[in-house]
Amino acid sequence: MPKQMAELLKHEKQSPTGAQTEIEVAGLSKYFGKRKVLTKISFELEKGGFLSLFGPNGAGKTTLVKILSTLVAPSEGTVSVAGLDPYKNSAAIRAKIGLISHSPLLYLDLSAEENLKFYGAMYGVDNLDARIDELLEQVELDHRRYDLVRTFSKGMTQRLAIARALLHRPSVLFLDEPHTGLDPHAVDIFESLLDTIRQDHTFVMITHNIERGLALCSKAMILYNGQIAFYQNKADLDKDMFNEIYRQKVKGEH
């Protein structure tokens, strides 16, 4: 497996796939004292790509996403998101990324509109009112515009969370276990929504849901103990190998 992975990495370096690279990570390490959280992570994701990130808790998935979204500084290596260095242009990058998490990132005691207006002010969105109209229509929450988020169902909250994440027209979206706590119906709605925005965004998704993770992705990666244990394009993905490594590393079976 490592050989194949190395080939893939080499392949990428030699000939870019034609599409523009949106996320580039090279030799990224993060450690605290001697404790390594991430070790020599390298990968590229083209514009419009979708990376599904698997791995057990504590493998470093969240840290990786936090580094990509400027919340954590790397110890070593280089990172570029949308052509910018997260550590040096953190505000500029944050303006280009969105986060859809398993927690909604919404204020329960504010209405849908007030939430969006608040985040709109944070991002300095132009023509905010028109943008809010447009988004609420897109996620079909127009009729609940003035209702408190507290009164929303889980699925509705998740849809509003998506509207919130798209508010400032980000080009990269991070999804942090977005399926957690959603019922099957809500998952359907969520994925059809995802489908409509798939074209113009680049995605990095942390997930424990193998089926959905593999179905959505263009690249799949398993992190284990801060290192890449598996990394392949979906086009030539070795499903058996993926399952084998997933079983060993994530579920801890031998």
185 interacts with another protein by CB under 8 A: no
CB 172, CB 204: distance < 8 Å: yes
108 interacts with another protein by CB under 8 A: yes
Nearer Cβ to another protein (91/235): 91
- Which residues are within 8 A (CB) of 3 and not within 5 positions of it... i.e. 6 or more apart? none
By CB under 8 A, name the one of 6, 19, 122, 241 that touches another protein: 122
Nearest distance, CB of residue 68 and another protein, angstroms: 11
Task: Measure the CA–CA gap between 61 and 102, rounded to whole angstroms.
Answer: 15
Nearest distance, CB of residue 253 and another protein, angstroms: 17
CB 25, CB 74: distance < 8 Å: no
Stretch that binds another protein, among 76-84, 97-105, 192-200, 214-222 (CB under 8 A): 97-105
Task: Measure the CA–CA gap between 187 and 252, rounded to whole angstroms.
Answer: 28
- Which residues are within 8 A (CB) of 35 and not within 5 positions of it... i.e. 6 or more apart? none
Nearest distance, CB of residue 14 and another protein, angstroms: 33
Task: Burial-class residue 11 by CB neighbours within 10 Å (0-12, 13-18, 19+).
Answer: exposed
109 φ/ψ angles, rounded to the nearest 5 degrees = -90, 10
Q: Which of residues 212-241 bind another protein (CB under 8 A)?
A: 225
Stretch that binds another protein, among 17-25, 48-56, 113-121, 192-200 (CB under 8 A): 113-121
Residues that bind another protein (CB under 8 A): 32-35, 66, 69, 71-73, 75, 90-92, 94-95, 97-99, 101, 103-110, 114, 117-119, 121-124, 148, 164, 225
